[in-house]
Copies of this chain bind each other. A is one copy, B any other.
Protein backbone atom coordinates (compact mmCIF):
# COMPACT_ATOMS: atom_id res chain seq x y z
CA UNK A 1 0.00 0.00 0.00
CA UNK A 2 2.78 2.29 0.91
CA UNK A 3 4.41 1.65 -2.41
CA UNK A 4 1.34 2.66 -4.40
CA UNK A 5 0.86 5.84 -2.43
CA UNK A 6 4.53 6.57 -2.77
CA UNK A 7 4.38 6.16 -6.53
CA UNK A 8 1.29 8.34 -6.80
CA UNK A 9 3.02 10.88 -4.63
CA UNK A 10 6.08 10.85 -6.83
CA UNK A 11 3.93 11.25 -9.92
CA UNK A 12 2.03 14.22 -8.62
CA UNK A 13 5.22 15.77 -7.28
CA UNK A 14 6.73 15.61 -10.73
CA UNK A 15 3.64 17.14 -12.28
CA UNK A 16 3.62 19.82 -9.63
CA UNK A 17 7.25 20.60 -10.26
CA UNK A 18 6.53 21.27 -13.90
CA UNK A 19 3.65 23.42 -12.87
CA UNK A 20 5.57 25.61 -10.38
CA UNK A 21 4.45 29.18 -10.83
CA UNK A 22 6.84 31.94 -11.64
CA UNK A 23 5.09 35.16 -12.51
CA UNK A 24 6.42 38.37 -13.92
CA UNK A 25 4.64 41.47 -12.67
CA UNK A 26 4.93 45.21 -13.11
CA UNK A 27 5.57 47.16 -9.92
CA UNK A 28 5.31 50.91 -10.46
CA UNK A 29 7.43 53.49 -8.68
CA UNK A 30 5.81 56.81 -7.92
CA UNK A 31 9.11 58.03 -6.46
CA UNK A 32 10.95 57.39 -9.72
CA UNK A 33 7.98 57.87 -12.04
CA UNK A 34 8.77 54.54 -13.66
CA UNK A 35 7.52 51.01 -13.69
CA UNK A 36 9.80 48.05 -13.22
CA UNK A 37 9.23 44.34 -13.60
CA UNK A 38 9.64 41.78 -10.87
CA UNK A 39 9.60 37.99 -10.90
CA UNK A 40 7.75 36.03 -8.24
CA UNK A 41 8.18 32.30 -7.57
CA UNK A 42 5.19 30.86 -5.76
CA UNK A 43 5.37 27.60 -3.84
CA UNK A 44 3.10 24.85 -5.18
CA UNK A 45 1.25 24.96 -1.91
CA UNK A 46 0.27 28.60 -2.42
CA UNK A 47 -2.45 27.87 -4.93
CA UNK A 48 -3.81 24.96 -2.90
CA UNK A 49 -4.01 26.78 0.35
CA UNK A 50 -5.65 29.66 2.13
CA UNK A 51 -2.66 30.20 4.42
CA UNK A 52 -0.54 33.33 4.36
CA UNK A 53 2.99 32.67 3.14
CA UNK A 54 6.26 34.22 4.20
CA UNK A 55 8.11 36.26 1.56
CA UNK A 56 11.80 36.30 0.69
CA UNK A 57 13.06 39.34 -1.22
CA UNK A 58 15.95 38.07 -3.35
CA UNK A 59 18.11 40.86 -4.79
CA UNK A 60 20.26 40.64 -7.91
CA UNK A 61 23.76 42.11 -8.27
CA UNK A 62 25.49 44.87 -10.18
CA UNK A 63 25.11 44.90 -13.95
CA UNK A 64 21.97 42.80 -13.38
CA UNK A 65 18.21 42.79 -13.53
CA UNK A 66 15.19 41.28 -11.84
CA UNK A 67 15.33 37.96 -13.69
CA UNK A 68 19.01 37.17 -13.03
CA UNK A 69 18.23 34.54 -10.43
CA UNK A 70 16.04 32.71 -12.92
CA UNK A 71 18.29 32.94 -15.95
CA UNK A 72 21.88 32.98 -14.79
CA UNK A 73 22.07 30.13 -12.30
CA UNK A 74 23.39 26.89 -13.82
CA UNK A 75 20.22 25.20 -12.49
CA UNK A 76 17.45 27.39 -13.89
CA UNK A 77 14.85 25.95 -11.54
CA UNK A 78 16.86 26.62 -8.38
CA UNK A 79 14.65 29.42 -7.10
CA UNK A 80 11.40 27.67 -7.99
CA UNK A 81 12.48 24.48 -6.24
CA UNK A 82 13.49 26.36 -3.12
CA UNK A 83 10.17 28.22 -3.08
CA UNK A 84 8.44 24.84 -3.20
CA UNK A 85 10.70 23.13 -0.70
CA UNK A 86 10.33 25.82 1.94
CA UNK A 87 6.85 27.20 1.16
CA UNK A 88 8.17 30.71 0.81
CA UNK A 89 7.15 33.20 -1.87
CA UNK A 90 10.36 34.46 -3.48
CA UNK A 91 10.15 37.96 -4.94
CA UNK A 92 12.90 39.14 -7.30
CA UNK A 93 12.55 42.90 -7.81
CA UNK A 94 14.43 45.18 -10.15
CA UNK A 95 17.42 47.04 -8.71
CA UNK A 96 18.79 48.43 -11.97
CA UNK A 97 22.41 47.87 -12.88
CA UNK A 98 24.10 50.03 -10.24
CA UNK A 99 21.57 51.45 -7.82
CA UNK A 100 23.04 49.70 -4.80
CA UNK A 101 19.41 49.67 -3.58
CA UNK A 102 19.89 53.12 -2.01
CA UNK A 103 18.28 56.48 -2.58
CA UNK A 104 21.14 58.03 -4.51
CA UNK A 105 22.52 61.19 -2.92
CA UNK A 106 23.16 62.65 -6.37
CA UNK A 107 20.71 61.08 -8.84
CA UNK A 108 17.06 61.81 -8.02
CA UNK A 109 16.06 59.24 -10.63
CA UNK A 110 17.60 56.41 -8.61
CA UNK A 111 15.61 55.84 -5.43
CA UNK A 112 15.74 52.13 -4.91
CA UNK A 113 15.59 52.15 -1.12
CA UNK A 114 12.26 53.95 -1.38
CA UNK A 115 11.24 51.62 -4.20
CA UNK A 116 11.92 48.39 -2.39
CA UNK A 117 10.74 49.50 1.05
CA UNK A 118 7.80 51.76 0.30
CA UNK A 119 6.64 50.50 -3.06
CA UNK A 120 7.58 46.89 -3.78
CA UNK A 121 6.88 45.48 -0.32
CA UNK A 122 3.44 47.11 0.05
CA UNK A 123 2.59 46.09 -3.53
CA UNK A 124 3.41 42.44 -2.78
CA UNK A 125 1.60 42.49 0.54
CA UNK A 126 -1.52 44.03 -1.03
CA UNK A 127 -1.73 41.67 -3.99
CA UNK A 128 -0.80 38.33 -2.49
CA UNK A 129 -1.54 36.24 0.56
CA UNK A 130 1.62 37.12 2.44
CA UNK A 131 2.53 37.21 6.09
CA UNK A 132 2.27 40.98 6.16
CA UNK A 133 4.56 41.38 9.14
CA UNK A 134 8.22 41.55 10.08
CA UNK A 135 7.96 37.95 11.25
CA UNK A 136 7.33 36.61 7.78
CA UNK A 137 9.61 38.81 5.72
CA UNK A 138 13.15 37.90 4.71
CA UNK A 139 15.74 39.42 2.43
CA UNK A 140 18.98 38.34 0.84
CA UNK A 141 21.00 38.88 -2.30
CA UNK A 142 24.27 38.59 -4.15
CA UNK A 143 27.02 41.16 -4.54
CA UNK A 144 25.31 44.56 -4.83
CA UNK A 145 22.19 42.67 -3.69
CA UNK A 146 24.00 41.35 -0.61
CA UNK A 147 24.86 44.95 0.20
CA UNK A 148 21.28 45.97 -0.46
CA UNK A 149 19.89 43.23 1.75
CA UNK A 150 22.02 44.24 4.73
CA UNK A 151 21.69 47.99 4.05
CA UNK A 152 17.90 47.83 3.87
CA UNK A 153 17.37 45.40 6.75
CA UNK A 154 19.72 47.41 8.98
CA UNK A 155 17.87 50.64 8.23
CA UNK A 156 14.43 49.02 8.45
CA UNK A 157 14.73 46.30 11.13
CA UNK A 158 11.03 46.64 11.85
CA UNK A 159 10.31 45.11 8.45
CA UNK A 160 12.39 41.93 8.41
CA UNK A 161 12.80 38.74 10.44
CA UNK A 162 16.27 37.95 9.07
CA UNK A 163 18.66 38.92 6.30
CA UNK A 164 21.46 37.41 4.27
CA UNK A 165 24.32 38.32 2.00
CA UNK A 166 26.20 36.31 -0.61
CA UNK A 167 29.46 37.90 -1.79
CA UNK A 168 28.07 41.21 -0.60
CA UNK A 169 29.63 44.45 -1.81
CA UNK A 170 29.41 45.53 1.81
CA UNK A 171 31.58 48.61 1.45
CA UNK A 172 30.97 50.85 -1.55
CA UNK A 173 34.45 52.28 -1.00
CA UNK A 174 36.22 50.21 -3.60
CA UNK A 175 39.69 50.87 -2.18
CA UNK A 176 38.72 48.08 0.22
CA UNK A 177 38.22 45.65 -2.67
CA UNK A 178 40.87 43.62 -4.46
CA UNK A 179 40.48 45.13 -7.92
CA UNK A 180 43.02 45.52 -10.71
CA UNK A 181 43.61 49.25 -11.35
CA UNK A 182 41.78 49.39 -14.68
CA UNK A 183 38.71 47.71 -13.28
CA UNK A 184 38.79 50.06 -10.31
CA UNK A 185 38.86 53.05 -12.66
CA UNK A 186 36.01 51.75 -14.74
CA UNK A 187 33.76 50.90 -11.80
CA UNK A 188 34.51 54.23 -10.16
CA UNK A 189 33.29 56.05 -13.26
CA UNK A 190 30.07 54.06 -13.31
CA UNK A 191 29.40 54.34 -9.61
CA UNK A 192 30.05 58.06 -9.41
CA UNK A 193 26.62 58.36 -11.01
CA UNK A 194 25.03 56.82 -7.92
CA UNK A 195 27.31 57.94 -5.12
CA UNK A 196 28.66 61.21 -6.35
CA UNK A 197 32.35 62.08 -6.20
CA UNK A 198 34.21 59.62 -3.97
CA UNK A 199 35.80 60.34 -0.60
CA UNK A 200 36.34 57.88 2.23
CA UNK A 201 33.97 59.97 4.35
CA UNK A 202 31.20 60.10 1.76
CA UNK A 203 31.22 56.34 1.74
CA UNK A 204 31.13 55.89 5.50
CA UNK A 205 27.45 56.63 5.82
CA UNK A 206 26.68 54.04 3.16
CA UNK A 207 29.11 51.36 4.28
CA UNK A 208 27.44 48.33 5.85
CA UNK A 209 30.82 47.59 7.46
CA UNK A 210 30.40 50.89 9.29
CA UNK A 211 26.94 49.89 10.55
CA UNK A 212 28.16 47.10 12.84
CA UNK A 213 26.81 48.79 15.96
CA UNK A 214 23.39 49.47 14.45
CA UNK A 215 23.34 45.84 13.33
CA UNK A 216 24.07 44.86 16.92
CA UNK A 217 21.23 47.00 18.25
CA UNK A 218 18.79 45.56 15.72
CA UNK A 219 19.54 41.95 16.63
CA UNK A 220 18.33 40.45 13.33
CA UNK A 221 19.57 36.95 12.56
CA UNK A 222 22.08 37.28 9.71
CA UNK A 223 23.67 34.76 7.35
CA UNK A 224 26.74 35.92 5.42
CA UNK A 225 28.78 34.01 2.84
CA UNK A 226 31.93 34.97 0.98
CA UNK A 227 34.29 33.08 -1.29
CA UNK A 228 37.97 33.16 -0.33
CA UNK A 229 38.89 34.11 -3.89
CA UNK A 230 36.33 36.91 -4.09
CA UNK A 231 37.60 40.46 -4.59
CA UNK A 232 35.09 41.45 -1.88
CA UNK A 233 36.74 39.27 0.79
CA UNK A 234 38.08 42.11 2.92
CA UNK A 235 34.83 44.05 3.49
CA UNK A 236 33.14 40.77 4.45
CA UNK A 237 35.94 39.83 6.83
CA UNK A 238 35.92 43.33 8.31
CA UNK A 239 32.18 43.24 8.98
CA UNK A 240 32.51 39.77 10.50
CA UNK A 241 35.35 40.89 12.76
CA UNK A 242 33.41 43.93 13.96
CA UNK A 243 30.33 41.79 14.63
CA UNK A 244 32.42 39.30 16.60
CA UNK A 245 34.07 42.21 18.45
CA UNK A 246 30.76 43.78 19.48
CA UNK A 247 29.19 40.38 20.27
CA UNK A 248 26.53 40.43 17.52
CA UNK A 249 25.24 36.90 16.79
CA UNK A 250 25.49 36.11 13.08
CA UNK A 251 26.34 33.20 10.78
CA UNK A 252 29.49 33.77 8.76
CA UNK A 253 30.99 31.40 6.22
CA UNK A 254 34.12 31.48 4.09
CA UNK A 255 33.88 29.01 1.25
CA UNK A 256 35.81 28.00 -1.86
CA UNK A 257 35.26 30.08 -4.96
CA UNK A 258 34.82 33.64 -6.02
CA UNK A 259 32.30 36.03 -7.51
CA UNK A 260 30.41 33.48 -9.61
CA UNK A 261 26.92 32.18 -10.21
CA UNK A 262 28.20 28.77 -9.17
CA UNK A 263 29.00 30.22 -5.75
CA UNK A 264 25.58 31.86 -5.43
CA UNK A 265 23.73 28.77 -6.58
CA UNK A 266 25.59 26.85 -3.88
CA UNK A 267 24.90 29.44 -1.17
CA UNK A 268 21.21 30.15 -1.66
CA UNK A 269 19.91 26.79 -0.35
CA UNK A 270 21.83 27.39 2.88
CA UNK A 271 20.15 30.76 3.22
CA UNK A 272 16.71 29.19 2.77
CA UNK A 273 17.58 26.56 5.39
CA UNK A 274 18.70 29.35 7.76
CA UNK A 275 15.56 31.39 7.13
CA UNK A 276 13.30 28.36 7.59
CA UNK A 277 14.67 27.93 11.12
CA UNK A 278 13.85 31.57 11.89
CA UNK A 279 10.31 31.15 10.53
CA UNK A 280 9.77 27.92 12.43
CA UNK A 281 10.88 29.62 15.61
CA UNK A 282 8.52 32.61 15.17
CA UNK A 283 5.54 30.54 14.02
CA UNK A 284 5.13 31.78 10.44
CA UNK A 285 6.57 28.73 8.67
CA UNK A 286 3.99 27.03 6.44
CA UNK A 287 4.21 23.26 6.82
* Cβ contacts under 8 Å, A11 to chain B: 5
Interface: A213 (CB within 8 A): yes
- The A interface, classified by DSSP as helix, strand, loop or mixed, is helix
* Cβ contacts under 8 Å, A213 to chain B: 200-201, 204, 210
* Cβ contacts under 8 Å, A216 to chain B: 200
Chain B binder among A103-111, A136-144, A156-164, A245-253: A245-253
The one of B12, B175, B204, B238 that contacts A9, using a Cβ cutoff of 8 Å = B12
* Cβ contacts under 8 Å, A277 to chain B: 266
Q: In the complex the two chains form, what is the Cα distance from A8 to B5 in whole Å?
A: 7
Q: What is the 8 Å Cβ interface bit string for chain A, positions 99-117, against chain B (1 contact, 0 not)?
A: 0000000000000000000
Whether A253 lies near B253 (C-beta < 8 A) is yes
Interface: A269 (CB within 8 A): yes
The bracket for how many chain A residues form the interface is: 35 or more
A window 198-220: CB within 8 A of B: 200-201, 204, 209-210, 213, 216-217
The one of B238, B251, B266, B273 that contacts A269, using a Cβ cutoff of 8 Å = B273
Whether B5 lies near A247 (C-beta < 8 A) is no
Which residue of chain B has its CB nearest to the CB of A9? B9
Q: In the complex the two chains form, what is the Cα distance from A8 to B3 in whole Å?
A: 12
Interface: A50 (CB within 8 A): no
A window 109-145: CB within 8 A of B: none
Whether B256 lies near A255 (C-beta < 8 A) is no
Interface: A228 (CB within 8 A): yes
Q: In the complex the two chains form, what is the Cα distance from A176 to B212 in whole Å?
A: 15
Which residue of chain B has its CB nearest to the CB of A254? B252
Interface: A34 (CB within 8 A): no
Interface: A244 (CB within 8 A): yes
Name the distance in Å between A13's Cβ and chain B's nearest Cβ.
8
Whether A12 lies near B2 (C-beta < 8 A) is yes
Q: Given contacts A2-B16, A270-B270, is CB(A234)–CB(B240) below 8 Å?
A: no
Interface: A183 (CB within 8 A): no
Name the distance in Å between A73's Cβ and chain B's nearest Cβ.
14
Interface: A6 (CB within 8 A): yes
Q: In the complex the two chains form, what is the Cα distance from A266 to B223 in whole Å?
A: 14
Q: In the complex the two chains form, what is the Cα distance from A251 to B240 in whole Å?
A: 16
Q: In the complex the two chains form, what is the Cα distance from A6 to B238 in whole Å?
A: 47
Which residue of chain B has its CB nearest to the CB of A15? B2
A: which residues have CB within 8 A of B? 1-3, 5-6, 8-9, 11-12, 15-16, 48, 175-176, 200-201, 204, 209-210, 213, 216-217, 228, 234, 238, 240-242, 244-247, 249-257, 266, 269-270, 273, 277
A–B pairs, 6, beta carbons within 8 Å:
A176-B245, A234-B245, A240-B254, A249-B257, A251-B255, A253-B253
